[in-house]
């Protein structure tokens, strides 16, 4: 499914959902219905709540109820305020997060956030090693197994399997402690700097995502994978979920963050569209 086909499919799904069928002939096939039934939408985002996992030094999510209930005018009304750090839960790292002068959240071209994608499943290694570093060999083995090269301008998703631990902080982060002292206790898989450099130099990808708290592994001290990727304006999606529901190829991603002007990151709603 190419990008144009994806947009047509979404449009047809929307039209199908709101069409008045009263004048449609009985038993007449509906092209929109047929097309939309061939597609499956998978939500790759965790929700936001008091359980949402944040970096151990970041402000956690807070939801404050302004009003919820019946009003004196006789109608029901609900409204909340929320506050949160940019980087927590399912979110995007904008290039400026680790690259001076690079793109902020609002400046990331939508073409980098929407399009064809592949999934590299390294869970067989990463589930047995909380400090696992995804290597160049992992990508080369994937390409050999699938008899293909990672497509140019693809969105690459990395499945470590650690999403199954979310939101258990001790299992997912390596610690349930917070604050600067907790940084040394972080243990979760990530992308090696060598593999990040290989993706930049040898494969022209649009974006990358992972089902852990960071594209760098938990014990990283210099966040070189962030620096390498973001310096090339390649945004990163972190704390993804449901990657186990995706095929390895032939699916599309729509990853739309909150459009924070000047933001270094933002909450992200990311979905995959798969042929059913």
What is d(CA 250, CA 160) in angstroms, rounded to the nearest whole number? Answer: 20
Read off the pLDDT of each residue in 257-274 and give the average, rounded to a whole number: 98
Cβ atoms of 46 and 52 within 8 Å: the answer is yes
- Our CA dihedral for 28, 30, 35, 40, rounded to 10 degrees, sits at -100
DSSP 183: G
What number of other Cβ atoms are within 10 A of residue 195's Cβ? 21
Write down the residue that tokens 């929109």 correspond to: 32
Read off the pLDDT of each residue in 198-210 and give the average, rounded to a whole number: 98
Across all residues in the chain, what is the average pLDDT?
91
pLDDT at 5: 57
CA atoms within 13 A on the CB side of 36: 13
pTM above 0.85, yes or no: yes
Cβ atoms of 44 and 252 within 8 Å: the answer is no
What is d(CA 235, CA 237) in angstroms, rounded to the nearest whole number? Answer: 7
- The first and second tokens of residue 266, run together, are 């933002």
Residue pLDDT, tens place only, 75-106 = 999 999 999 999 999 999 999 999 999 999 99
**Cα 95 to chain center, whole Å?**
15
Write down the residue that tokens 């070189």 correspond to: 224
Residue pLDDT, tens place only, 149-176 = 999 999 999 999 999 999 999 999 999 9
- Our CA dihedral for 253, 216, 127, 174, rounded to 10 degrees, sits at -120
What is d(CA 229, CA 125) in angstroms, rounded to the nearest whole number? Answer: 23
Write down the residue that tokens 């190829």 correspond to: 249
Cβ atoms of 191 and 225 within 8 Å: the answer is yes
Measured in residues, the chain has a length of 276
Helix, strand, coil percentages, rounded to 5, for the chain? 30, 25, 45
What is d(CA 222, CA 214) in angstroms, rounded to the nearest whole number? Answer: 13
* 229 contact partners, CB below 8 Å, separation of at least 6: 196, 199, 200, 208, 215, 236
What is d(CA 224, CA 40) in angstroms, rounded to the nearest whole number? Answer: 36
In the predicted structure, residue 19 carries a pLDDT above the cut 70: no
Q: How confident is the model at residue 38 (pLDDT cuts 50, 70, 90)?
A: confident
What is d(CA 155, CA 268) in angstroms, rounded to the nearest whole number? Answer: 15
3 state DSSP class of 78: strand
Q: Would you list the DSSP string of 201-244? A: HH---SEEEESSS-SS-TT-SS-HHHHHHHTTT--EEESB--GG
- Domains annotated for the chain, with CATH where assigned, are 41-58+86-275 (3.50.30.50)
């Amino acid at each position: 499914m190419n990008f144009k086909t994806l947009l047509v499919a979404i449009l047809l799904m929307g039209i199908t959902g709101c069409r008045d069928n009263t004048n449609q002939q009985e038993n007449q096939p509906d092209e929109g219905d047929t097309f939309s039934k061939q597609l499956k939408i998978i939500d790759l985002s965790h929700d936001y709540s008091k359980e949402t996992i944040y970096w151990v030094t970041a402000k956690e999510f807070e939801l404050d109820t302004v009003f919820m209930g019946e009003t004196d005018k006789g109608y029901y009304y609900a409204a909340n305020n929320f506050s949160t750090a940019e980087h927590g839960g399912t979110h995007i790292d904008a290039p400026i997060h680790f690259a001076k002068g690079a793109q902020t959240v609002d400046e990331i071209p939508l073409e980098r956030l929407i399009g064809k994608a592949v999934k590299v499943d390294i869970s067989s290694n990463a589930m047995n090693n909380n400090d696992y570093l995804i290597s160049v060999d992992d990508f080369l083995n994937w390409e050999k197994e699938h008899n293909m090269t990672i497509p140019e301008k693809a969105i690459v998703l990395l499945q470590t399997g650690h999403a199954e631990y979310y939101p258990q902080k001790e299992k997912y982060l390596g610690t349930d402690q917070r604050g600067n002292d907790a940084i040394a206790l972080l243990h979760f898989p990530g992308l090696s700097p060598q593999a990040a450099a290989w993706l930049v130099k040898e494969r022209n990808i649009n974006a990358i995502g992972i089902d852990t708290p960071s594209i760098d592994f938990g014990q990283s001290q210099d966040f070189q994978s962030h620096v390498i990727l973001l310096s090339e304006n390649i945004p990163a999606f972190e704390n993804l979920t449901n990657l186990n529901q995706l095929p390895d190829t032939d699916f599309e991603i729509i990853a739309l963050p909150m459009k924070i002007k000047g933001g270094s990151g933002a909450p992200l709603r990311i979905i995959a569209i798969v042929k059913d």
